[in-house]
Every structure is written in C-alpha cells, then in structure tokens.
C-alpha cells in the first residue's frame, strides 16, 4: 500500500452502524386452521389404505384443507392478527413481514406485501422465503438478526401453506399426510435472551427426496411468443421418498436438535416443551428417544388433527400447546423444522 493511499483512507467518512436490541424473543403467536376437516375416512375414497394404517404409520387422524376463501393471504392475516393481539403490538409498529411458504402459487409479487398491507404494517419491508418445513425456523433466525442488527424493532414471521393445492390425492404415499393452515409469531426486543442460536442448514444433494413433481414451465407447455400461452399438461404435486426422509429426520435431525440445546446451554430436562415439525408421530417419538427427553417435558402432537402443514406446523403446534395449558408462557421450548431441500432449522426459544 502506498503512503498516499494510507493518508486518504484515514480521512474516509465512517458509516454510523445500525444498533438494535441486545436480545430478541417471541412476543405473541397465533394460528389459523381451515374450517373443512378431512378425516382419514375421506382420504380412503382416493387411495387404497385404512384408517388404522394411516394412524399407526403417521399418527394422523384428520387434517384441515382450505376452501376457496381461505387463501394464503387470508389465512396469514388471520393468524398474524391473533399473534399481534397476543403480543399487544399494533400493526404499525411492525418493521418487517416474513412469509415462509412453498404453496403460494403466484410467484410475483411476494404474498408478504399484500399481507403487510392488509394488516396495516405501513411500508414495512415484506418478503417471502421458501424453506419448506424449516421455513418458520429460517424466518425466526432472520427476524432475530433484523431485530438485534437494528433494521427492525418488531417482525412478524408467518408460516402458511395450502398443501392441498399440491397434493395428488391418488398418491398413496402423500395423500394422507399434508394439511393446510397458517401460524404466525411476533418477534421483538427483549431484556433477556429469548431465541438461542439457530442451528440451520441445507443439503441440496438430497434435493429430489421431497419435491414438486415438475417445474411449472414443464407442467405447462412453454409459452409461444407468437401463439400465446401453452396448454396445461399435468398439475404438479408433491412427491417424497418417505423412508429416506424418515431415516434422515430421525438420525440427523435429532443431532441438530441436540446442537441447538448445546448452543443455548440448555439441557433437555430444563425444557418446558418440545415442538418438533409435525411430519410423522413416529419421527417425533424417535427424536424423543434420541434426545433422552424426560417424560416430564410436554411434546407437541398436533399432527394427529392437523397433518403436516410444513411451514405452519411449528407455530400452529406452539399456539395449541399454550392454549391448552400444556406449555406456559416463559417456558423454554426446543423447536426443530426439517423438510424439502433438504433444509432444517432448530433453536431453543422462550415461549410467549
Ligand atoms: C410416508 C410414511 C408414513 C410411509 O410409512 P412407511 O412405514 O415408510 O411405509 P413404506 O413406504 O415403507 O411402506 C410400507 C408398506 O405399506 C404400504 N403402504 C404405503 N402407503 C400406504 C398407504 N397409504 N396405506 C396402506 N399401505 C401403504 C406399502 O405398499 C408397503 O407395503 P409392503 O410392505 O407390502 O411393500 C413414512 O415413510 C413417513 O412418514 N416418512 C416421512 C415423511 C415425512 O416426514 N415427510 C415430510 C417431511 S417434511
């Protein structure tokens, strides 16, 4: 470096750093469950199976599927309004709206901007993220960083899905699993740590293990510049290699959950709740074993009545545990989401 260069750099103006809250926590949580209940008996109209097989292999007895009015935006607004009410925060205090979803079928614009507008969040930055069943954890990690980094005071994280739109009802390996719904959390400043280090990651080498059958540009014949839009060939749906996902979830995800506990300096017996992604009751039970979770720790088992709602599953299960009194405000909860990508996110959080 030349002497001349050193002199000029000394005179460079300094950027004033953004300063945020020292800690962040969840202030409120809310959920929306569609009104239409689909019991296992209804699924049996579409696939060859039995109520007993579905219950014993997945733990699911029923799921909710959204009607035409229960759009991604509508369900999100309902869930977020409940979360705001619980937090005691008004929409105009929100400095960021993050919507995690894989089933908003209109790519542009992000659905988050409409949701922010309908909630009354003014000009808050609003964007969608695609991290499947880890979407809520990914959003929470972003919100935590935004609040502590000083770019927002309060952030709403919404996990929302209409997976029924992407379900092939004749596919035996997925028709009984997926459900619809929305869950939201208001995240904001805190006097004490309320969100532990988020252990998150991805493994794109397993991208085909859970995925949409085909991209929209192959599902539709490519638009022709002269003759206009092409013809629909086949509506895409979700497919997965159930056993591969099962093994990965039980083996690798228990390790990620343990890492989240260790990073937070919390032991399993100090937890007030375990809220894993609601993918399969047997995965939940296997994780409990792997983590050596004491019987005294209540475990979310919302899957029985909700099915797998991907990004919505953790906030929905959290809301249910708080409402039923199974878990209490101020308790520590271990959350872990995992799914298509493959992606995952785990953290210890203080319940609102
Ligand atoms: C999907 C899942 C429930 C299937 O359970 P499984 O025990 O792995 O089932 P398999 O695919 O090994 O099939 C076992 C048997 O059940 C049969 N079977 C599969 N689907 C069936 C159904 N819906 N009803 C009845 N029988 C079925 C298979 O044909 C097979 O029969 P066979 O032994 O005579 O060949 C399970 O793999 C799972 O939950 N995986 C993880 C899914 C998940 O978490 N996904 C989301 C992640 S975000």
Alpha carbon of 33 to ligand 1 centroid (Å): 26
Would the pTM count as exceeding 0.75?
yes
Q: Give residue-wise pLDDT tens across range 41-76.
A: 999 999 999 999 999 999 999 999 999 999 999 999
Angle between helices 51-58 and 281-290 (to 10 degrees): 20
pLDDT at 2 over 50: no
pLDDT at 247 over 50: yes
Phi, psi of 247 (to 5 degrees): -65, -45
Q: Is the dihedral of CA 162, 130, 315, 146 positive or negative?
A: negative
pLDDT at 6 over 60: no
Phi-psi region of 325 (alpha: psi -120 to 50; beta: other; left: phi over 0): left
Residues with CB under 6 A from ligand 1: 47, 49, 53, 57-58, 133, 172-173, 176, 210, 240, 242-243, 245-246, 249, 279-280, 283, 308, 339
pLDDT at 8 over 90: no
Average pLDDT over residues 180-188: 98
For ligand 1, atom 39, the nearest C-alpha belongs to: 280
Give Cα separations from 297 to 6, 21, 107, 305, 311 (angstroms): 60, 31, 41, 21, 23
Q: Give residue-wise pLDDT tens across range 205-228.
A: 999 999 999 888 888 766 665 666
């Amino acid at each position: 470096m030349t002497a001349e260069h050193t002199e000029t750099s000394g005179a460079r103006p300094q950027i004033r750093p953004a300063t945020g809250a020292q800690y962040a926590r969840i202030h409120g949580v809310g959920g929306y469950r569609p009104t239409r209940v689909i019991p296992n008996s209804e699924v049996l109209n579409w696939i060859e199976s039995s109520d007993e097989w579905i219950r014993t292999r997945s733990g699911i007895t029923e799921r909710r599927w959204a009607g035409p009015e229960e759009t991604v935006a509508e369900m999100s607004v309902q869930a977020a309004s409940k979360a705001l009410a619980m937090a005691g925060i008004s929409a105009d205090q929100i400095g960021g709206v993050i919507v995690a979803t894989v089933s908003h079928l209109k790519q542009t614009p992000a659905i988050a901007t409409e949701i922010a507008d309908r909630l009354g969040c003014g000009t808050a930055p609003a964007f969608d993220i695609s991290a499947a069943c880890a979407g809520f954890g990914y959003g929470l990690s972003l919100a935590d960083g935004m609040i502590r980094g000083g770019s927002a005071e309060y952030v709403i994280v919404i996990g929302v899905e209409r997976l029924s739109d992407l379900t092939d009802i004749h596919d035996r390996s997925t028709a009984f699993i997926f459900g619809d719904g929305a869950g939201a959390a208001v995240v904001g400043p805190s006097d004490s740590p309320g969100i532990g280090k988020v252990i998150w990651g991805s493994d794109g080498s397993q991208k085909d293990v859970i995925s949409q059958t085909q991209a929209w540009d192959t599902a539709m014949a490519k638009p022709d510049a002269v003759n206009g839009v092409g013809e629909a060939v086949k509506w895409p749906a979700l497919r997965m290699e159930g056993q591969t996902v099962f093994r990965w979830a039980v083996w690798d995800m228990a390790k990620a959950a343990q890492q989240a506990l260790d990073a937070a300096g919390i032991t399993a017996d100090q937890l007030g709740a375990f809220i894993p992604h609601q993918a399969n009751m047997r995965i939940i039970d296997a994780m409990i074993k792997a983590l050596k979770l004491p019987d005294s720790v209540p475990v979310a088992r919302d899957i029985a009545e909700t099915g797998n709602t991907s990004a919505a599953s953790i906030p929905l299960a959290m809301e249910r545990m708080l409402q039923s009194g199974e878990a209490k405000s101020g308790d520590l909860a271990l959350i872990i989401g995992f799914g298509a990508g493959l992606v995952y996110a785990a953290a210890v959080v203080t319940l609102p």
